[in-house]
Amino acid sequence: MTEMAQPAAYDALAGEWRRRQTRRLAAIFLATAAVIAAFAYAGALDFSRYADALPTIAQLAQDSFPPDFARWREWGRPLLETLATGIAGTALGATLALPLSALAARNAGAPVWLNETVRFWLGAVRSLPGLIWGVIFVAAVGFGPLPGVLALGVHSTGMLGKLFFEALEHVEPGPGAALRAQGASRLGVFRFALLPQALPRLTDALIYRLEHNLRAATTLGIVGAGGFGLEIVTAFHLFEYREASALILVLLALITLVNFFGATLRRAMLRGF
Amino acid sequence: MSMLHFVPNPVACWPLPGPATPALSVDGLCVTRGGRQILRQVSTAFAAGVVTVVVGPSGAGKTTLLNVLNGLVEPTGGEVFAHDFGAPHGVDSLRSSDSWAALRQHTATIFQDHALIGRLSALDNVLLAFAESRHPLSPFPWPRFAREAAAKALADVGLLDRAFDRVENFSGGERQRIGIARALARGPRLLLGDEPFSSLDQPLARRLGQDLRALAVRDGVTLVLVLHQIALARALADRIVGLNDGRVVFDGPAEIFDAEAEASVFTSTPNTKGS
């Protein structure tokens, strides 16, 4: 490369470079404007509304202290219900999401029309919040943990399906091509090339979803799907803030335990057992 | 795939060195991608027990030619003929996916970027050579014959003692050897290598190259290698195919691939020479 050639080479790129910079700045400006508009619309920029907030929260914290664990013997069953709802809902969601993600991923061999159809339905399923699915399934199968399992299962299918197919699409194409070149079937390529590569990301998504579902299982108690959430809501309704704070601490301990278990499981998976 | 033809009775479609008959041949092969012509009317043949080395400058279409032969790239024109690869239906199977399946059963490819799964062990990667012999949903471990063949292939490339190490902990050269082991484990009749020695030092590249050559000659394997090391190409090849800008500009015995022929391949003016 000569010294004379460099300015000419730069000039050839300068126009396109400037256009790209302008587009990038415009995108940043528009995104910032949208965020500020959202805050303003939600009333978050009306600072007078924060005046009473801090004293109220301080009062609530004072009323909640010290936590009251007197009824701890009665919490075992709802706690187990919540745990079972979270685990079973996640397992149901993951079991349905994995084959659907294989059909939705562009690199797993399914035709484009099927990719799009499955993606549409995964989007449709997750567009309804878990709480709405809870109301629907309470009406369908009655009260208790079962509607919670079904609600979390269906909603998790939509969420995990999206996370799974995105993870599958991010794998290196080489190993899959190597298997195709030797005549492996589409299912074989998925099982032996895509899945092993995507497994750490699938595990991450699954553990994150389990943690999310355990929290969601407590909220589902509000719509009649049983569990620990019902206990917390009842304590708040009865103004038993000290008991409510004890229940929240127990829930926090449970979630921490699940996180620890999840991290251990992930490490084991990454090590390859 | 619709362009692969099985020819039940081997017929010498293209002149080949010595008494060799073609195992695989291509006729008028064209590949166009994104409006760019990568292969233009490529016609040549590859014989069993003969080492064919494809050379040419970057972007000449060497990898694409190899990927047409293993079915990863569908040609936009021309035809591929497979001779005597155990076509199940003879002449009736022309232009069918069954024909490709039959050829692929006997095909192995060594990829330039290794195409290995980093988080799996060397052994697990080599076992993928047998992926089509195990049901994807099978809960059972790999069959014994596959484990034995994988272990032997790893021993052949000198990596048996690291069989259970994860591939991401291997050097580039070691990964290339694992890729070679995966290809050899299949006991292929058509072995394609896309720069199979590019990450290896020269002595090791020569040794493994000679091993592949010996295998091809001994077992009648059709060996097609894409190489950029011209000295190694001359040392290994029975026959050299030179590509430039998607065209065959040299096709002949390695002995006549002299400096002039090399220059014709690596300059942009197509200059056909050889037999």
**Which residues of chain A have a Cβ shorter than 8 Å from any chain B Cβ?**
172, 174-175, 177-185, 187-193, 196-197, 199-200, 270, 272
**Closest CA–CA distance from residue A257 to any residue of chain B (Å):** 28
> CB distance A197–B108 less than 8 Å?
no
Three-state SS string over B57-84 comes to CCCCCHHHHHHHHCCCCCCCEEEEEEEC
Who wins on pLDDT, B5 or A67? A67
Burial class (CB in 10 A: 0-12, 13-18, 19+), A113: exposed
> What element of type H or E holds B259?
helix B259-266
Q: What residue of A is the nearest CA neighbor of B110?
A: A178
Look at residue B267 and give its three-state secondary structure. Answer: coil
Question: Is the reported ipTM for this assembly greater than 0.85?
Answer: no
The answer, for B186 touching chain A at a CB cutoff of 8 Å, is yes
pLDDT in the model for residue A123 = 95
The answer, for B70 touching chain A at a CB cutoff of 8 Å, is yes
The confidence band for A260, taking pLDDT boundaries of 50, 70 and 90, is confident
DSSP 8-state class, residue B30 = E
Among A98, A168, A170, A182, pick the best mutation site for testing chain B contact (most B Cβ within 10 A): A182
The confidence band for A76, taking pLDDT boundaries of 50, 70 and 90, is confident
Predicted confidence (pLDDT) at residue B32 exceeds the cutoff of 90: yes
DSSP 8-state class, residue B97 = H
**Closest CA–CA distance from residue B168 to any residue of chain A (Å):** 12
CA-CA-CA-CA torsion sign (A69, A71, A76, A79): negative
**Closest CA–CA distance from residue B275 to any residue of chain A (Å):** 31
Q: What DSSP string runs through B121-145? A: BHHHHHHGGGGGGS-TT--SPPPHH
> CB distance B115–A187 less than 8 Å?
no
**Closest CA–CA distance from residue A179 to any residue of chain B (Å):** 7
Look at residue B32 and give its three-state secondary structure. Answer: strand
> CB distance A184–B186 less than 8 Å?
no
In contact, B105 and B190? CB cutoff 8 Å: no
pLDDT in the model for residue B67 = 93
For residues A147 and B105, give the distance between their C-alpha atoms in angstroms, rounded to a whole number: 50
Q: What residues of chain A lie within 8 A of the CB of B114, using their CB?
A: 174
Among B132, B140, B169, pick the best mutation site for testing chain A contact (most A Cβ within 10 A): B132
Predicted confidence (pLDDT) at residue B114 exceeds the cutoff of 60: yes
Rg of the Cα atoms in chain A: 25
Q: What residues of chain A lie within 8 A of the CB of B104, using their CB?
A: 181-183
> CB distance A183–B166 less than 8 Å?
no
Q: What is the pLDDT of residues B218-272, one digit of tens each?
A: 888 999 999 998 999 999 999 999 999 999 999 999 999 988 889 989 885 544 4
pLDDT in the model for residue A104 = 96
The answer, for B218 touching chain A at a CB cutoff of 8 Å, is no
The confidence band for B94, taking pLDDT boundaries of 50, 70 and 90, is very low
pLDDT in the model for residue B123 = 95
pTM of the model: 0.79
pLDDT in the model for residue B18 = 46
For residues B47 and B137, give the distance between their C-alpha atoms in angstroms, rounded to a whole number: 38
> CB distance B111–A177 less than 8 Å?
yes
Task: Spell out the residues 6+ positions from residue B111 whose beta carbon is closer than 8 angstroms to its own.
Answer: A174, A177, A178, B179, B194
The confidence band for A190, taking pLDDT boundaries of 50, 70 and 90, is very high
Q: What does the buried/exposed string (b/e) look like for A38-48 if buried means 16 or more CB atoms within 10 Å of the residue's CB?
A: eeeeeeeeeee
Mean pLDDT of chain B: 84
